[in-house]
A and B are shown apart, each in its own frame.
Chain A
Amino acid sequence: MSRIPPVPTSRIPGLLAQQRLTQQYQADQLDLFRLQEQISTGLRINLPSEDAPAALRAISFQRLLDRKDQLGDNIDSGLLFLGSTDATLGGADGVAGVLSQIKADTLGVVGTVATDEQRQAAIAEINGALESLVTLANRQFNGRYLFSGSQSNVQPYIFEDGTVSYQGDEREIQNYSDIGVLFSSSISGQEVFGGISEAVVGSVDLNPQTTADTLLSTLRGGRGINPNGSLLIGDSTTNESSIVDLSAATTLGDIARLIEDNPPPGSTVNVTITGDGIQVNIPGGNLVIQEVGTGTTARELGLLNDQTPGDLQTITGEDLDPQFLRTTRLDNLLGTKATARLESVGEGNDILIESKLNGTAFNGVGFEVFNGGDIGSTANVVFNAGTNTLEIYVDDSGETTAANIVDAINADAALDFTASIDVGDASSPGDAGTGEVPIGTTFSGATTAGGGGSNLDLASGIRVVNGGETFDFEFSSDTTVEDLLNRLNRSEAGLEASINDAGDGLVIRSRLSGGDFQIGELGGSTATQLGIRTLDRDSQLNGFNYGVGVPTADGFDIPVADGVDFSITDSNGVAFDVDLSGIDFTDLSATDAITQIVNEINTASTAALADVTATAVSTGNVTVVELSDAGGGLEQLTITGGDGSLAAQYLGLVPDGSSPVQVSTGTTITGEDSEYTDFTITSNDGQTFAVDVSAAQTVGDVIDAINAATGGAVDAQLAAEGNGIELIDNTGIGALTVTARPGSQAAEYLGIVGADETTVTSTTGTLTGTDRNSVENDSVFNTLIRLRDALDANDLPAIERAAAKLDDDIERVTFAQADVGNRFQNLELSKFNLQEEQIQIRSALSEEIDVDLVQAISDLTARQTSLEASLRATANILQLSLLNFI
């Protein structure tokens, strides 16, 4: 940067000329030096200020390049991991290969012709495959277990005691492939091999109640309250209002405090946190709560009330529906506690009351203050059940403070309530509770309100069966959700218990492959209340027996011939034929079908002038046909099956056989339901009840069907301990028998009678079935263990089922492999793009700060010439003097 000062117009003193020439010479030297440095370093600028815009751009390019270099490293490392995962999954020795081999080898031994040796060979092969698959699943690369999700140093699968348990999680390890773009460099074992069972999703909304500590972010089902909100609170009687800034609030308690601290000028505002929301009260005023500007806070808090006219001292907010967290107290679930605010005139004397338990039973309790005599600074409390009032006795000379009353209430363990001081009523923290509550106060008739729901039965606990072992849990010492979850997770039961995504229920899953998983009760209702019972009234029957369902008798499926189905002869010898082919039995229930058949018989009887009357007789939850003969003739009422028709046999009117005839011994013949019912229950007193569960969809339907059939003699219910359907004989303790009807496997598949049995008898008056609705783990290991066990037992249906599941497993592995391959390709594409980008950035960076050598060298030459000229001129000018000429 050479500067050019102007040449003076008048005289040039010698010293000035010399200085100027020196300056010029130096400027030339400086430029030459600069150019020389540019050429030798290759950089056009050394300090940013030499070309600020270019330098700043260059700096940002340099940083971008630093970032891109790391992104390139990330991609390279991701490609290595995905490549290694792909290699583990694919190929003959990979997961897919091992599974295909097993499938091919076991298909050969499915069927009755396979010998025991062949099966044993297949079993041995499966055992080998199990070992090798566990080894593959536990493969490590670059210090990371490939299949343990985000738990890169946790061995994902542990094979012991005949079961395989998954120790990893379902997450993936992610990293950035570009700024703001994430990719996953791992796939969880769950996605490849499986390992965590389907969730036992809590079907119950545990509906946690709101407290002062409830986080705003958990409200409204987890949508929370928009941050930095504010609301306007006004009193329309004074026309005053104030804006409450809620931006610092994180809990409902904060909101309450901020509103109470910022009332409309001249008014007092009380805020109570009820079990499900906020209640705002303005004593003697008329409350208005509005949004500020276009805010949404008041609406989100359920308090918006901008158009209600009239006298409104209290606004009760809507249900804020909080999610629960690990730290949520268990006693805050499933219901709300009744609360009351005991407001007295003056400061520092308001008391907050809360019931100890949830429920409506604690609502409506009143409070009144009485003279307790000279008792000093103490108080006595007595609950008067007759008036449903808590009587508070205080000192006759006003020595009792609100804090004394609170202490007295809290000290009385028999009371259903606890009390606390309302700190918002005090002008300073030290004054809270120091105020007096005058004798005779009834707190304007305040009563407890807001209690509802039920209390969680923690004492009973749950029974978990997993991997063939039974574990009993009870939670009476647990106070938070986390305690409960930890109790399950820390046990040996192989469980993964967590809060569900919606934050309103629990999810319990099994990590064990190769065993059944059931959650049942332990004498109480804990599992049901938590919604985690694997077998409850809502359980679908089609999910029973690993999805096989519950095969019942086919409902009412009467085989009707085209012609005469049966003939009836009355006691007077009048015979008539009954032809049922005119009835459309499609979609008819047994009862409706029987009604139609009865009508058909009666029509035929009337037409033939016979004295036979048919009626539908109910025996429990099914009906049968009953014929009665009123003719009074000498012959016996007789029914003869028609040629080629089995209708009469089906209805139980004639015995089985080729030419069946039924001759009555009295005047009636009653049909039987054995063809269209599923099982019978015989109670201690000998009554037998036939039960048809063909229409049942759920366990509840089955229980209802049994209860309808037995009419109270035998009660059906879910087992009080564990799972299963339980029958209780109300006719006395003796033999309670359930017998499957031929052709129906319902009793067995419902777990009422044992496997491959047709009857079961209990002598204790209670018959408890087994749980056939187990959850199992959809994993490669589970399939192989099941297949091995089925082969060992030569259980054909189980072998077929396991073989079918093997297909699912292969499909899952293939899918995972495709997923990994796809990611690999995408990542390679990202790498390619990144490399392109890096080249572009480098070229842009070079444009900004690299020297243009051609230009620099030509500049150097030009400058050299200039310097030479300058030197020559200097010499000439300095030599020239008048003195030379005198």
Chain B
Amino acid sequence: MLIRKAPDIRPSEITDEHCYMNRREFLQLAGFTAAGTMAGSLAAAEPSGKPFPKLAKSPFSTDAPANSYEDVTTYNNFYEFGTGKGDPYRYSQDFAPRPWKVTVSGECDRPGEFGYEDIVGPHALEERIYRLRCVEAWSMVIPWVGFPLADLIKRFEPNSRAKFVKFKTLYDPAQMPGQRRAVLDWPYVEGLTIAEATHPLTLLTVGLYGRELPNQNGAPLRLVVPWKYGFKSIKSVVSIEFTEQRPRNSWELAAPSEYGFYANVNPQVDHPRWSQARERRIGGGLFDAKQPTLMFNGYAEQVAKLYDGLDLRRNF
């Protein structure tokens, strides 16, 4: 492992951030770096979000070493800000996560519109260090901050017809430049069965590394469903709807043969275009070996029983 000493003078003190960004854009335009795959390192090593005062530890946390703050906040899939991995960091800095409103609707007794404080205020926050496995066969370990989605759902009193929960991301092309092109059918939609949504591992997430979520990670509220591929963990949620019918999620709609509704991490069921048997843990550097992917991303003990009798090959 490479351990670097923090330099006495931070780069941000020498180079104005604006110049820094311009340099990267210049390098890209010059064709020196292709599609942003190779770039001057992104300067986001400094956490800026408001820190949370006290956080309970969780027994669900892994003791695997967490990825660096820089990796977690500069290597993202958040197509609302662009399809490149660096785009969410680059193009989300002016995004305003407050004021925030979440519409709760559908098969429940207490629907309504709720502000960020109404949603988060009544709950005790905890830190949960989870593995995150992307459908693209890379993974990270991230110290999230949040509370069980089950506790929130309880407050809305879903009725007996509520079989599924459908979530939507904000649609605001003015703030989310990626939405100006129809890469996906906006707004982004995700869904869970009610059993999945109320499972104790499912986290309504408001922060990472002890601070409020950076914009590129789905500020101000997002889901984290650690046993499913990352795209199920919907970001910047503005709508929670209880439904009787199974919702169709954005990636399923975009490519039904490649992405399903369940999207459980499963090393035995490959993506049609790449293997899911192994994964690359981000942060290991150029010469690190891949590691085997675990069934349900290593959370089988907690969640396998949710899928008793379900053909996971067909319901991928």
Specify whether A and B are partners: no
